[in-house]
Amino acid sequence: MTPSRQIPARSEIPEADTWDLTRIFKTEEEYRKAFSDLKNGYLKITEFKGRVGESPETLLNCLEFENRLDQIAERLGHYSSLKHSEDSSNNENLSRRAELTNLLTKVNEAASFINPEIQAINDDKFQRFLDDPALTDWRISLRKLRRFKPHTLSEPEERLLTLGAPVLRGHSETFSQLTNVDMKFGALVNEEGHEVALSQSTYLSFLHRQDRDLRRRAFHQFYQEFDDHKYSLASALASSVRADVFSAKIRKYPSAREASLFEDNIPVAVYDNLIATVRKNLPVLHEYYDLRREVLKLSDIHQYDTFVPLVPKIQTNVGFDEAIETVVQALSPLGTEYVETLRNGLHSRWVDRYETKGKRSGAFSSSSYGNPPFILMNYKPDVFSDVFTLSHESGHSMHTWFAQQHQLFQNYGYPIFLAEVASTLNEELLTHHLLERAQEPQMRAYLIDRQIEDIRQVLFRQTMFAEFEKLVHEIEENGGPLTLDVFRNVYRDLLEAYFGPRFTVDDELSIECLRIPHFYSAFYVYKYATGISASISLADRVLNGGPAEVRAYLGFLKSGGAKFPIETLRDAGVDMRSPDPIEKAMDLFQRRITQLRELIASASSGI
């Protein structure tokens, strides 16, 4: 019997393998001092209450004071969050986080008068303020804020909405408690004869197994539990949709979807163009399912057959330092400044490398202004996909690093619409780099299959989700019913369209819509689909263009949140108002399917 791998305590791993949080605060005492400074000083912001619109100088002083509070709060939050991620079972980390959360709630409450007072300045006076040189550094953020004036209510109304927010959003907590606590999925006996608990976290691992009967049993057992709670879940989802529609109506938006798109100034046409272009290209997805059915030698294909790998896992042992070099070599088309900054950062403790007891699972990149963009990993040398994870998180970190170098604090933060572009572009460059050097057919097939699955799950699947959100919100806005049957019927139609005529859609899959967490916080998933489309186009420009294309992409990274996302991407060379970026992603998907088919055919014939 193979001995079980012991997860080390944090004290048992070399310091060089951990991130260096002394770059944020040298000592815990320094953190405590910053905390005390914020706690003892934040109420001074109230001295500006009732005076924000007096003059450009008063507004500037107010904004600069709030800016200083925000930078301290961001830094404290960054440190607290990373310490909690190191070990969420550590009482000191837990209490630090809870204490800071309480303080920041008070800080936000004390400063809550600022935006309404800015909105209350009449238009002529506000324009004079913007024209004043004193407010030059604040013009971008003030113009963005001012856009919300038609959708801002009176102070008493805003207060009521704030107080009522937990009630309006109670469905989200209900969904979380029901699916993560109350629902029990039982256990399954795996191929080795061991009983393994079935849960939301293990479900996908069962669907990756080669044993089809095990996959089928996992699917039906998993959805049986959702079926037993379908009416409660449908009620929670209906409440979520109604809350979105209510909030949009009360703030005078034409629809819930337009309310969600407003902050990033995304035209509705971008959303509709995504759905229309993906719909047009569904036959290529159906072709992929045909290939999958052929390779797996199935007479029919079900959803539980779509996750099992077509290509066996690659047996590798890539140490972390080797992974760094692989990633930075792949990113060399982005230029010396990008590559050397990343290489130096990864070698100077930007990364918390390995799994330890109590450490948060998964991976992320996180930063605060003027501090390193730290990366959390749970790197395993024998899991080749972890090299891609490092590349992905490095994309986020370098996006943040460039934005910090070139933008003021109030303008450096970029929206989610842009965030996934920088990270997935890095994965595209890594795939290209590895394919250029891969000689073994198995490695090439693995890399191509991996990219196909990324596009399938991000572009196709998330677009289907986005279409579902659009349709059910329109039903509510048009006065239609939101019942369990309505949800099931709408979702079933989408499943049949996206999976295609030669795919067997099990009845249980119609209630998948009730278990997707994003549906309880709508109009978010489309950003994944637009993000991967933009990154594929930008990667192509970087690889096949010249210095101008690289400069344009680096300009995208440097812009942070200084411009709206569509404008930022347009300046980088990608127009998301056009179907072209999505069509390019579809072309890549088609090419990869053809290549995978040829590689599998060659392997089968012994070539």
Give me the active site residues, please.
393
CB contact burial 132-148 (16+ within 10 A = b; e otherwise): beebebbebbbebebee
**Residue recorded with tokens 């004193």:** 134
**CA separation for the pair 98, 83 (Å, rounded):** 12
Distance of CA 576 to the CA centre of its chain: 18
Identity at 204, one-letter amino acid code: L
Helices (H) and strands (E) in the chain, counts: 26, 5
Tokens, residue 371: 């501090």
Q: What is the DSSP string of 81-131?
A: HHHHHH-TT-HHHHHHHHHHHHHHHHHHHHTTTHHHHHHHS-HHHHHHHHH
DSSP tag of 179: I
**CA separation for the pair 464, 442 (Å, rounded):** 31
Q: Which residues pair with 375 in a beta bridge?
A: 351, 365
Rg (CA), the chain: 26
Tokens, residue 60: 């500037």
Q: Which residues pair with 364 in a beta bridge?
A: 376
Q: Which residues pair with 366 in a beta bridge?
A: 374
Tokens, residue 274: 């995504």
Backbone dihedral angles phi then psi of residue 376, each to the nearest 5 degrees = -95, 130
**CA separation for the pair 41, 39 (Å, rounded):** 6
DSSP tag of 364: E
DSSP tag of 508: G
Give the distance between the most distant pair of CA atoms in the chain.
81
**CA separation for the pair 111, 583 (Å, rounded):** 46
Q: How many residues does the chain have?
A: 607
H-helix or E-strand spanning residue 374: strand 374-376
C-beta atoms surrounding 438 within 10 Å: 16
Short-list 34, 43, 36, 37, CA closest to 110: 43
**CA separation for the pair 547, 601 (Å, rounded):** 39
**CA separation for the pair 253, 247 (Å, rounded):** 9
Q: Are 59 and 355 in contact (CB under 8 A)?
A: no
Q: What is the DSSP string of 527-557?
A: HHHHHHHHHHHHHHHHHHS-HHHHHHHHHHH
Q: Are 330 and 432 in contact (CB under 8 A)?
A: yes
Q: Are 473 and 254 in contact (CB under 8 A)?
A: no
